[in-house]
Amino acid sequence: MLPTLRELCRSLGDDLAPVGPGDVPAVEVTAVHVSELADPAVFLDGGELLLTTGLGFQPSVLWFGAYVQRLASRGVAGLAVGLGPVHAQVPPALAEAAARAGLPLLVVPPPTPFLAISRHYWSMLARAGQRELAEMLSAHRSLVAASLGAAPVPAVLRRLAIAIDGWAAHLAPDGRPRSVWPAGRRGTARDLQGAVRRLHAVGAPTSLSLPLGDDDVVVQPISDGSWLLGYLAVGHARPLPRPAQQLAMIAVSLLTVESVNAGRLRLAARKSESVVLDLLRHGETTAARRAAQSLGPSLPDRVRVAALSVAEPDEALLLLDGLAGSAEHVILAGRCDGACVLLLRDAAGGAQWLGSLVAAVPGARAVLAAAAGLGHVPDWLRRAQSALPDAVPGTVTDFGWHQAPAPLDTPELHAWAERTLEALDGDEELAATVAAVLRRRSELDASRELGVHRHTVRNRVARAESLLNVTLDDPDTRSELWLALRLTGRALRAPYVMCSVRHVG
């Protein structure tokens, strides 16, 4: 906040007055410099108020023209001639040359010393600096207070936009506007999406400055050092003032803290969803339904399973919350065996939405299974994860349309399966043993899988046959039981190991 030449003249009164009529321009003064050189321009940086007594002036129209032109080309804010010691009045040739060049010309009347002009300027600069510091501290405090509210992101954007007299936007990692203040600038923020996507493709988070319409815009990444959480964009009518950039950096720090904390909460919620997915992976459909209800979402009868391979699974899970269409398609999301697993609704556009997620995460690839009942989730998930290594990065492999189990997946068939196994009276140990025997085709192999003695397996099978009033020697019975176990999610469950058994002989 530099003092302007107009402010300096007004505060000094008659001690610094313009030559001729008209207002003094409101150009910023970077310094006050005294020189009697015939060519002081080489010692100036631009923006100075040059004071001189005219000791080195030459009484020539050409000389004054060249002198003034050198000062104007250097960007001098103004030229002030001290009257008295050398010149009683401003030389007319100098006044004409200054008027032609557009250089503000002023006079310092006697007995005002140049030192008084310099001291007054630096005093104004100090007061302006103190005022700027006070305003920055006030804006800083208001930003911090806004970040502690119930809705920190919109509140921080609003305070920031007001403080810089411009606009501010919170952008997703792919450049989509999440929140904009004022709301009328959402279209402007949306125009940044292409530039932000190119910036994101660079890899490491970096900032960006660019002109946008009549505004100067600065885009700063919001990152915890490992993951890109989004961007903050601020715009102001050209040129963007320096305090605006400083306040933007403060806002970035506050939004980073808020985003990291919110991300931790979201990842904690995803871990709970991972538990539900793990239950489904092991065929525990009933338990998964109950667990899902405690988290909020209810599990529909038909779903689609997607497996996602990414370098940073947590980063992909965080990105879900800001991706358009996530709420419409995603039921559960979590991690299973190192991969991201998504349980999607059987709705139109699921593959396209998954493609947008893959495009937003560099190097990602996904496999999407056909729609099926919850009982088929273990099988589809296993196939999807097996197909991931062969998937092409940046693509979604959609499989299962030619082998979808939909014809067998009906409510009537599920009801039949429940009735068939009802006689087991919910004994999961018996159901798991029967499934292992049918899967392994021998009691010995089943005992090794279950980790129990083969006599234990034989006793359990005999008990199950008694309760079901069947014999596993009948191939039709074996087929019906296997189908019932598959439909109820018990066939693919790997049961716990009760003990280690050593077979002798």
Shared fold status for 5-121 and 148-260 = no
Model pLDDT, residue 408: 58
Q: What is the pLDDT of residues 217-249, one digit of tens each?
A: 888 888 776 667 788 889 888 877 777 778 888
Class of the domain covering 300-404: alpha beta
Three-class DSSP category at 182: coil
Model pLDDT, residue 274: 82
Query: Side chain identity at 43, as an amino acid letter?
Result: F
Model pLDDT, residue 200: 65
**What CATH number has the domain spanning 5-121?**
3.40.1390.10
Q: How far apart are CA 152 and CA 146, in angstroms?
A: 6
Model pLDDT, residue 342: 86
Query: Side chain identity at 68, as an amino acid letter?
Result: V
The mean pLDDT values, 10 residues at a time, for the chain of 505 residues are 89 91 88 93 92 93 95 95 93 94 94 93 84 70 80 88 88 84 88 78 71 86 76 85 80 82 72 82 84 81 85 72 76 79 85 82 83 82 80 79 50 81 82 86 83 89 88 86 81 43 35
In the block, tokens 């207002």 appear at 23
Cβ contact 320:332 at 8 Å: no
pTM summary value: 0.47
Q: How far apart are the first and last CA of the chain?
A: 93
Query: Side chain identity at 246, as an amino acid letter?
Result: Q
The alpha carbon of residue 472 and the mean position of all alpha carbons in its chain are separated, in whole angstroms, by 58
Three-class DSSP category at 317: helix
Closest CA to 461 of 430, 491, 436, 486: 430
Q: Tell whether the torsion through CA atoms of 21, 26, 27 and 31 is positive or negative.
A: positive
Model pLDDT, residue 407: 53
Q: Tell whether the torsion through CA atoms of 133, 134, 139 and 143 is positive or negative.
A: positive
**How far are the Cα atoms of 201, 206, 219 from residue 193, in angstroms, in the given order?**
12, 15, 11
Cβ contact 356:368 at 8 Å: no
> Which fold does the domain 148-260 belong to in CATH?
Beta-Lactamase (3.30.450)
- Rama region for 452: left / alpha / beta (φ>0; ψ in -120 to 50; rest): beta
Locate 397 and state its tokens: 């492999």
* Domain residue ranges of the chain, discontinuous segments joined by +: 5-121, 148-260, 300-404, 411-487
Model pLDDT, residue 373: 83
Give 80's strand partners.
51, 106
The length of the chain, given as a count of residues:
505
Q: At what angle do helices 350-360 and 313-320 cross, to 10 degrees?
A: 130
In the block, tokens 């099988």 appear at 379
Q: Which residues contact 250 (CB under 8 A, 6 or more apart)?
A: 140, 143
Burial class (CB in 10 A: 0-12, 13-18, 19+), 490: buried
Model pLDDT, residue 135: 67
H-helix segments, 282-425: 285-295, 313-320, 326-329, 350-360, 377-387, 411-420
In the block, tokens 């100067």 appear at 216
